[in-house]
Amino acid sequence: MRRWQLGPGWLGAVLLMAPLAGQAQQSAHVHGAVRLDVAVDAASVSLQLEAPLDSLLGFERAPRSDAERRAVEALRVQLAQAAALFAVDAGAGCVAQAPVIKSALLDGAAKAGEHADLEASYLLRCRQPGVLKVIDLNGLMTAFSRIQRVEVQVATPGGQLKQTLKRPQAMVRLTR
């Protein structure tokens, strides 16, 4: 069982004790699913997307054809467009920073015969992140039609909540 499927109280205790990086490594590799960790603080919203490459690209090895090479380039371009993937209320005054994308395949180092993941980290600097009630993932779901499920974990000053979005659901709630 993955840690974050346990009760929120237990999870809170783990978050106090364990660094977040350790948590991220626990997640499962399920084709068609992605994981999104959202953290809201007084001045920013951070979004950590962790996905099997199959969920984004449909394959997890080095591209073998021009079409597959184009798909990899298109993925790179799509992932760079934070505002197109994650929509937030304009009233929060958020500006997206350049994302950090980690993937052996995008770096040309995919190993044949192995599953491969991608991690993309987004940071929105916001004047008033507290006004945000939801984050709209319709852009993400439209860009990547293979995503069927998003496992979301949200941490805000008001507490933590987790939710599972199943297509066509695409709204991440930031409050209970």
Under the binding rule (CB under 5 A), the answer on residue 115 touching Zn ion is yes
Nearer to Zn ion, 56 or 143 (CB): 56
Under the binding rule (CB under 5 A), the answer on residue 129 touching Zn ion is no
**Minimum distance, C-beta of residue 30 to Zn ion, in the bound complex (Å):** 8
Q: Is the dihedral of CA 158, 164, 166, 167 positive or negative?
A: positive
Nearer to Zn ion, 24 or 95 (CB): 24
**Cα distance between the two ends of the chain:** 25
Q: CA 122, 165, 103, 154: dihedral to nearest 10 degrees?
A: 40
Tell how far CA 86 is from the center of its chain: 10
58-77: contacts with Zn ion (CB under 5 A): 60
34-63: contacts with Zn ion (CB under 5 A): 52, 54, 60
Q: Which stretch binds Zn ion (CB under 5 A): 1-9, 71-79, 114-122, 127-135?
A: 114-122
**Minimum distance, C-beta of residue 104 to Zn ion, in the bound complex (Å):** 12
Mapped to the 3 state alphabet, what secondary structure does 95-124 carry? EECCCEEECCCCCCCCCCCCCCEEEEEEEE
Interface ranges with Zn ion (CB under 5 A): 52, 54, 60, 115
